[in-house]
Every structure is written in C-alpha cells, then in structure tokens.
Structure 1
Amino acid sequence: MTKEEGRVGRRRKFVTPWKKAAQEVGDGGAEDRVERLAAAASSSTALSPRVTLDGSNVGGKKGKKRKSPCVAMPFFRTPLSRMLLSPSIRIRSPSIQQRTSPSATTHGICQGREQRTMDIDLNLEPGDTYAATDPGEAGFDHSAATDAQGNGEAGFDHSAATDAQGNGEAGFDPFDSNADDDVLVTLEEIGVDPGQENVQPQFDPFFDSDVDDAILVPQENTHKNVVLDNDKRRAIFDAMLVKARKGYLKGHESKEVSAKFSVPIRTVQRIWKKGKSCLDQGISVDVASGRSRCGRKKKVVDVSCLEDISILSRTTIQDVATQLGVSTSKVYRMKKEGAIKRVSSSLDPYLTDQNKIDRLKWCIEMLDPRSVPHNLVFKPLFDFIFIDEKWFNITRKTVRYYAAPTASRRIRTIQNKNFIPKIMILTALARPRFDSNGNCIFDGKIGCFPFVTYTAAKRSSVNRPAGTIEMKPIESITKEVIRSFMIEKVLPAVRAKWPREDAGKPIYIQQDNARPHIAPDDRMFCEAAKQDGFNIKLVCQPANSPDLNVLDLGFFNSIQSIQYKSASTTTEELVAAIDRAFEDYPVRLSNRIFLSLHACMREVIEVLGDNSYDLPHIKKGVLERQGRLPLQLRCDAKSVNNANNYLRLAISIYKKQQLGWQQPLYKLCV
C-alpha cells in the first residue's frame, strides 16, 4: 500500500461510525423510509442532488437502537435532511493535494443547539484522487467568504472553500442542480434511526415547497434561570393560595400562574412548596429567595478617619482613595450612595468678638416689633435700599462651553490676562412690591451707576480722531467721588422711582463699612436727603458682614453671569451690557434674595453672631409655584432669648475688659 493510499484509508476510518449505524438498522420500515426520501430527492425540481443507493453494506447483525443526539428537541429532522439539506450544514471533501487531515466543524443548529459535522468525502475509495477541473461542475462558488487573513473559507450557504494557502477546495452543494455525477452520497453511510421513522420533521426541504423562503430562526432558551425579587415571589404565592382548595392545586392552575407571571412552572412549584411548608408548620410565610447574600461581599469602609486627615490631603477622589486604601471607583460609588460628600470651603471674613456682638445686635433689631414676643418674624424690609460697589470685567479668564466632539477649541487672546479691562459699578436695590393679584407695582431697581468720566481724546488714532468724547473709568474711588455720586445720582433716582404713597416715611440706605463711604451723619448728604419731603437716612451694616447685604448675597453674581453672555470689547459696550443685565434680571428672583437675607439673619442668631453656618435652602421656587411663598420668615423665640442673654453677659464682660479684666468672649456659655 502506497503512502497516499494509506492516507486515504485513514480518512475513511472517520466514516466508520456512520456505516456502523447503518448496519445496525435491521428494521425494514426504516429502509422503506430511506427509499422514499431518496425517491423524493430525485424527483424534486427545486433540489436535485444525485443520490444513489448502495445496499452492499446494509444488513448484518441487528444491534440495539441508538438514541438520537437530538431526542431532546421537540421535532426531529432525519439525518439525510440534516446533513444534505440544512442551510447551516455542509459536506465537503478535504484537499488531497495539500494533504490536509479532515477536521470536525461546528455549525449552528436551530433551537440554539450545536452539531458537529465531519468535513469528509464519503465517496472516495482507496487510491482515488479528487480534483475539480471545472469550478462550475464541482459546485465551486467564488462568492465564498474569506477569513481574517484573506484566505478563502466556506461559509454559510456556500458550496466551496479554499484552504489556508488560498487554493481552491471543491465542496458539495446539495442545492446545486449542476453538481457533478461523480459526487454521490449513499444512505447507508449516513445512517437512519428506525426509532424516529414516524416523527414528522420540523423542516424538511423534501416536503416543503417554499425551500428558498424558509429561514431557521434560533429560539430563545426557555430553561434560562429566572431570578425573581421577593415581592414578585410573594405575589406568585398569593395567586396560588387563592386557587388552592384545602391546600392542594390542580395541574392547570400551576400552569395558569406560570403563564400569568411569565416564569417557569418549576419555579412556581418550588415557591408553592416553600410557602405551603411554612403554613404547615404554623409560621409566617417566607418565600424569599436564598440568593440575597450571593456574590462578592460588599467592602465596608470606615469614612470617619477622613476627619483626622488634613483637607488639603483629600481634595480629589484620587486623594481620598489613597487615604482610605480603596480604588477610585469605590470612592465614586460611595459618593453616589451618599457615604461621602463633596464640600466647598470658601474664605470667610475673620470676626472679632466685637464683630460678633454687632452682628447679633443687628439681627435682633431686624425683628418686627409687632411680632414680639411670641410670633417672631423679621421686618419685610420694604423701607430699605441696599447699595454697594463691584468690579465688572470685560471677560472671564476661563470660559467653559459645550461643543460637538469634532469641533476645535476656540482661541481667545489678550495681551496680559492679569490686566483685563474692568469697571466699577455702584448699584442701588430695594425690595420689589406686588399687589394682591401678584402683579409687580414696584420693581425695586433704583439704578446702576458706573464710575466713569467723559473726556475728549487728545490725539488721533486709527479708532477715532482727536477731540472725540470718550468714556474713561475712574481709577481712584475716593470719599469725594462717593459723596458726589450719592447726592447727584442715587438720591435723585430714589425720589424719581420711590412709590408716592411712602414718600414721607423713613427710607434707610444700607451701606458697608468701606473706607471711601461717607459717614451716616455727613452734613452735605443729610441736607440733600431731606429735599422734596423725603426722609432718607444712611445706615452702616456690621463690619465684615457681606452676608447681611442682598447685593453681596446673590444679586451681583446673578447680573454678572448675565453680563458675561454678551461679548464686549470697549468700556461703552461693557457698561451697556451691565445696564441690560440689571434691567433684565427677573423681579421675582430679586424678591427671593430678600428671603435669603432673612434666613441668614436667623442663622446668625442661632450661632450667636458667628458666620460658621451653611446657607439654608427653603425651596423658594417650589413655594412660589404653589403660591405659598412667605413675605417674612419666622424666628425661634428660644433662640432669640438665648441671644439676648448672651448679649447682656457679653456687654458686661466687654465693659470689664475696658477696665483691664481679661476674659475672651468666645468662652461664654449661655
């Protein structure tokens, strides 16, 4: 025997199990069915592969019936139709020229299963060689798929393949009517299970006229494990308990519950068995799943140790993860769950003992005298005008905006980012007023006054000729400048915009303690404040207390954010943008800031004049939408009593300190 004949002989050993199965079939009914299938295949017009019957190997000793590998499937397809006619199974010949050994190939079968087929030519005899001279005759298809390296490889519904070197490899296509007569498959080499001869196949092209339109769709695995929560498990048990009669269920009732909740019937039966066992024992029904504690155990992290670490060492998630010895993803999940939180710490003014006493006295004096002593509320502040100054820059150093992923970053340039053009604005704001229907009758916007001067240009430039009137910011703000602005701009604006019905009542202008500000008893200001029947007084808020002024509390930041939305390049454009932001700011939002001021004063009383408190959130927007926004906030009477006792004791100690008795006020306990 030559080497080539031995190789071919070894290939035929792979066919032995199929021939052995055919020889073990002793039932004549199975042979008749094989003949009917072959006759139907030869007479088919849509599928015309050549099939020959060779009965030389049929017969022999009768053996036991072999179970089909697909007996678990609800429908059975005959081995002939599975191997020859299924779109997902192919039979091809190995390449003898390249001396490649036959290998098992896995193909997808319907219902999510897999079947392994042997790429073996069942018709080669020892010593025969196979070569396809005409690709068309041998069923060669040039549309075969190629693998990742570009080599041809037979794919789904293709009848030809190429080997790993790219050489053509002829295959057998049972759907090709032009197949060569030499490519034959015998039924004895396939094998037929006589135990399944009376089962109608789910899909058989021999009996289906619409073969081309038939598609095998994989079905979802109905036996997949279903994890139910405890509430749904209890609902299933309750549904079965309603149907039960004397503790027993009928078969269709379990199926009905299974279909209602879309769970397997075995799951329903296990739930019923567990719940019934609890009822038999006289204990409370517990049908909870035992999988609640499965999986990896949650790692418990002690976050109390963060208090012993400097805040500079825990400013980022990476720093916190390093300090706690966990991963950054764990810290992120802890933040999302609320185990830790992100805190912003801003610099607050340093308060002396005298500053705390002044702040506490100011807040207590802001209580409405008509509400003392039980129903304590703050004054509505309709007779107060708040003034303050602020620098407004032309643009920000850093602008954050949103863009498409492919958009490029906008370039913004300036000669020196430490000297961005800016201007100081003096703003006067009062509390807006509304009628009984909620309509605004006074917006409270007294005015917005820029500290600028108008001068003529001395020289010509590319932008303007000489003599053009230009707006220039005032570089030095002195007391004389403040006085002139208060007398020439602020007071006339107050007299022009203040409601006529309150013209004779006292009006208080509240300012901070900046050095350029004039004193409350300034002679020139007092004379101008009494003109036209008005009674305007100037008061100073406590030192180091920006939280007691509505402008610093939120109004300035609001109009500045609006101003930044307008691009400005000159001083005139900047002033115009600030004026538009001041006029466009919603009146209802400015009214909310006054309630925030009430909340701050209430917190100052709680902490006895200190500024170590968090700005409270009272959901003003929600209350306003519901029509329940209050005009004045209440204050706890007990807190006010403690503050009064603290003031009396602090003042007595302060007087003794003036005489030389040293005792710090922060050690006082009320």
Structure 2
Amino acid sequence: MKSKDVQNIVLSKYQNGDTPTEIYRDLNGGVGLATIKRWCQMIRRSGGIKLASPPGRPRIVRTKENIRKVKNRLRRKKRVSARKLSMELDISDRSVRRILRNDLGLRPYKKIIEPALSDDQKVKRKQFANWVRTNFRKKETLKILFSDEKFFDIDGVYNSQNDRVWAVDRADADKKGGVKQKRKFPQKVMVWLGVCSEGITPLVIIDKGTVDHACYIEKVLPIALEYGNKVFGNDWIFQQDGAKPHQHHLTQQWCRDNFPSFIDKDRWPANSPDLNPLDYSIWDEFANAINWNKVKSKTTLIQQLKSSVEKIRESVVFESCASWTNRLYRVSQNDGNYLR
C-alpha cells in the first residue's frame, strides 16, 4: 500500500473518532505508532496530513526512472543476471539487487530442468495414475519393487549452485577446495538397484560392455526375482521403465514367465522419472552417502559404491515408496504434468 493511501486511511479513521492506538492496531503495525500520533497532530492543527518532503534520505540511484529501466529491461529479456543489469544500466550491483527485491518484489530462482512431455505422454501418465489408483490398494502398492539403472563416474556428483566455499578471497577459496576438476572422458560404471517399502536389493554393477537385453536378463532380472520372492513370497509386482533393454520382447517374455506380476512396457508411462522412487529420492541419497574423496579410479569407485549402498537410510527408502500413491494422485489432478 502506498504512503498516500495509508495517510488517507489514518485521516478517515481519526476523523471518525479512532484514537492513534486504535488506528495503529487496525493497520497491523504497517505504520509506527509515533508516526500515526504525529499525523493525528497535523490533522488537529491543519485538518489534513501534509508532509513537506518524503521521509528518509532522498533516493539518488533507486529513482523512478532507474526502476522503470530495470522493469523494461526484464520485459524484453526475462533471463538476465543482476551483474549484467548493473553493467548495462550503469548502476551499482547492490542498487540493482535492491530495485529487483524491494521495489519490484522479485526473487531469483534457479532454472529447473525437467523432461519435455508431449500431450500424448501427459494423457498416458494420467491414465496410468488412474489405473493404479483404481486397481490397487495402498498395501498392494507397497509390494512393488521399483528398479532403475544409473551411471556413476569417478568425477563424482557436483552441484554448482549449492557447493559453496566460504573464504576471504578467490585464492583462499582455491586452497580450501574451491576448484572442481572435471575429466573429459571420466571412467564410469553402470549400476542397477531395486527398492521397495521393505528395503533395497543387492547392487548390480556393470563395468564392462553395454547393457543390452541379453545382459539385462542374465545379470539383473534374476537378482530382482530372488530378492522379491525372499521379501514378499509369490505376491509382488516388478517395475521397470521404458529403456530399450526393458522393452525387448525377450525381456518382456522373461518377466511374464518368472515374476508373479509386473508392469509391462505398454503400461508404464514414458518420460516419467518423477514416478520412480529411485529417480526422485534414492539416487540422491546414494550419491550423498559416497565418500568421493576416496574415489580415484574405477576400482575405488566400485569399492565406494558397494560400501555406500548400505548407508542408504531405511526411513528414506520407506517414505519414498509409501509416498508413491500420493504422487500418482497429484499426476491425476494436474493433467499429467511433470511433478517437481
């Protein structure tokens, strides 16, 4: 609310018989009690509130003209940093940030990367969510064994937005580990993992060759079958995404012949990592459990993967699987759009 509007409210209330304290309470502290008393004194003397000049020190940089320039610049190009605005408009970086935050009420947000969903994919996601919610009870969804593959390389996990080093200057930051070196072709391995409400499967590491349907059938599916039967007996469901080795007709046939039940390739929606607990929770938990300082080669990477998988918290695994039906409800409510 503008200052002139507040003054008019104070004037009206005081003329209607309200005391300064009552006016202060009605405004919820929007204006100080001392200011309201001073304005009421002006009203008694002259019949209105007349300020000789705006309160506070006059603005030199954050003028209406500069605010307008920043606003117009953002209209032309929404993606621009405060530093670039400062250089283009010849305004200090601090003043630009104050204009953005205080005068325009804006906040910086990091751009989020998410899958580009087609209209057809959104429809199938919504159909899948409704199918599960119609045909499965909550306790039955807790018997789903979710699975996924992921590459890990020896350079580790690095988040440029969150990994910060506090130091007095750049040289000091470099000494404290402020430089992240990245190899052009780092050694990497593929890992497979399954999770359910009861825990996690043994980790399968594939460090040689590519993962085709034959490798998947030989090295991965028997591990999933053994774990699922051990935990749930003959009453459980296997899930896998739409990767090519999973969609192969021999893979689908193996699943039909061996698993008590599984979500086939025509049912699971494409482009939906937000519906797999591994993608929206467990992989991050796993990566954070690894001591990347000890990873120097493919051998040490494999050692860390094997030891760190046991550090994944049981509570995180259970909560990520138990919340799956809630995510499906959100998908059915938001017309199949991606969940953040």
TM-score for the superposition, normalised by structure 1: 0.37
The residue aligned with 2:242 is 513
After TM superposition, the runs of 4+ consecutive aligned structure 1 residues lying more than 6 A away are: 273-281, 289-292, 411-414
Find the residue that maps to 2:264 and give its secondary structure.
strand
Letter in 2 for 1:481: C
Asked if structure 2 preserves the Cα contact closer than 8 Å seen for 1:335 and 1:341, the reply is yes
1:389-408 per-position Cα deviation (integer Å, ceiling 9, x unaligned): 00011124869564765586
Counterpart CA distance in 2 for 1:576 and 1:551 is: 21
1:124-162 per-position Cα deviation (integer Å, ceiling 9, x unaligned): xxxxxxxxxxxxxxxxxxxxxxxxxxxxxxxxxxxxxxx
Find the residue that maps to 2:189 and give its secondary structure.
strand
Which structure 2 residues correspond to residues 283-298 of structure 1 after superposition, within 5 A? 293-297=55-59
CA apart distance, 1:544: 1.4
1:537 aligns with 2:271: no
Match of 1:333 among 86, 95, 98: 98
The residue aligned with 1:465 is none
Letter in 1 for 2:262: K
Letter in 1 for 2:219: F
Counterpart CA distance in 1 for 2:242 and 2:277 is: 15
1:395 aligns with 2:125: no
Go from structure 1 to structure 2 and tell me whether the alpha carbon gap of 1:294 and 1:348 turns closer, same or farther (over 3 Å shift).
Answer: closer
Asked if structure 1 preserves the Cα contact closer than 8 Å seen for 2:157 and 2:287, the reply is no
Counterpart CA distance in 2 for 1:380 and 1:328 is: 56
Counterpart CA distance in 2 for 1:346 and 1:552 is: 15
CA apart distance, 1:277: 6.3
CA apart distance, 1:428: 0.3
The residue aligned with 1:476 is 210
1:32-79 per-position Cα deviation (integer Å, ceiling 9, x unaligned): xxxxxxxxxxxxxxxxxxxxxxxxxxxxxxxxxxxxxxxxxxxxxxxx
Go from structure 1 to structure 2 and tell me whether the alpha carbon gap of 1:304 and 1:508 turns closer, same or farther (over 3 Å shift).
Answer: farther
Find the residue that maps to 2:133 and give its secondary structure.
coil
The residue aligned with 2:7 is none
1:553 aligns with 2:308: no
Go from structure 1 to structure 2 and tell me whether the alpha carbon gap of 1:511 and 1:323 turns closer, same or farther (over 3 Å shift).
Answer: farther
Asked if structure 2 preserves the Cα contact closer than 8 Å seen for 1:386 and 1:551, the reply is yes
Letter in 2 for 1:296: P
Letter in 2 for 1:517: H
Counterpart CA distance in 2 for 1:598 and 1:326 is: 51
Which structure 2 residues correspond to residues 98-497 of structure 1 after superposition, within 5 A? 293-297=55-59, 299-300=63-64, 301-302=67-68, 305=72, 308-311=75-78, 314=80, 316-321=81-86, 326-334=91-99, 336-337=101-102, 339-367=105-133, 381-396=141-156, 402=165, 409=175, 417-431=183-197, 442=198, 444-451=199-206, 473-496=207-230
Match of 1:575 among 294, 297, 302: 302
CA apart distance, 1:598: 4.8
Asked if structure 1 preserves the Cα contact closer than 8 Å seen for 2:121 and 2:269, the reply is yes
Q: Aligned residues, how many?
A: 289
Higher relative contact order structure (alpha carbons within 8 Å, sequence separation ≥ 6): 2
Q: Whose helix fraction is larger, Structure 1's or Structure 2's?
A: 2
Q: Which has more radius of gyration? A: 1
Go from structure 1 to structure 2 and tell me whether the alpha carbon gap of 1:299 and 1:381 turns closer, same or farther (over 3 Å shift).
Answer: farther
Which structure 2 residues correspond to residues 615-626 of structure 1 after superposition, within 5 A? 615=340
Counterpart CA distance in 2 for 1:323 and 1:592 is: 48
1:521-555 per-position Cα deviation (integer Å, ceiling 9, x unaligned): 733333333xxxxx242434211121111111132
RMSD: 4.1
Counterpart CA distance in 1 for 2:279 and 2:136 is: 29
CA apart distance, 1:564: 4.7
Find the residue that maps to 1:485 and give its secondary structure.
helix
Go from structure 1 to structure 2 and tell me whether the alpha carbon gap of 1:275 and 1:494 turns closer, same or farther (over 3 Å shift).
Answer: closer
CA apart distance, 1:319: 2.5
Letter in 2 for 1:493: Y
Asked if structure 1 preserves the Cα contact closer than 8 Å seen for 2:196 and 2:317, the reply is no
The residue aligned with 1:523 is 253
Unaligned runs of 5+ in 2: 1-19, 22-33
Counterpart CA distance in 1 for 2:178 and 2:111 is: 32
Letter in 2 for 1:363: A
Unaligned runs of 5+ in 1: 1-236, 239-269, 372-377, 432-441, 452-472, 530-534, 616-670
CA apart distance, 1:605: 3.0
1:464-486 per-position Cα deviation (integer Å, ceiling 9, x unaligned): xxxxxxxxx22211100011123
Find the residue that maps to 1:537 and give its secondary structure.
coil
CA apart distance, 1:425: 0.2
Asked if structure 2 preserves the Cα contact closer than 8 Å seen for 1:366 and 1:379, the reply is no
Asked if structure 2 preserves the Cα contact closer than 8 Å seen for 1:482 and 1:516, the reply is yes
1:193-247 per-position Cα deviation (integer Å, ceiling 9, x unaligned): xxxxxxxxxxxxxxxxxxxxxxxxxxxxxxxxxxxxxxxxxxxx99xxxxxxxxx
Asked if structure 2 preserves the Cα contact closer than 8 Å seen for 1:388 and 1:511, the reply is yes
Give % identity: 16
CA apart distance, 1:587: 2.1
Letter in 1 for 2:311: D
Counterpart CA distance in 1 for 2:130 and 2:261 is: 22
Letter in 2 for 1:515: K
Counterpart CA distance in 2 for 1:580 and 1:573 is: 11
TM-score for the superposition, normalised by structure 2: 0.68
Asked if structure 2 preserves the Cα contact closer than 8 Å seen for 1:482 and 1:518, the reply is no
CA apart distance, 1:419: 1.4
Asked if structure 1 preserves the Cα contact closer than 8 Å seen for 2:282 and 2:317, the reply is yes
Asked if structure 2 preserves the Cα contact closer than 8 Å seen for 1:364 and 1:605, the reply is yes
CA apart distance, 1:325: 6.8
After alignment, is 537-546 or 602-611 more displaced? 602-611
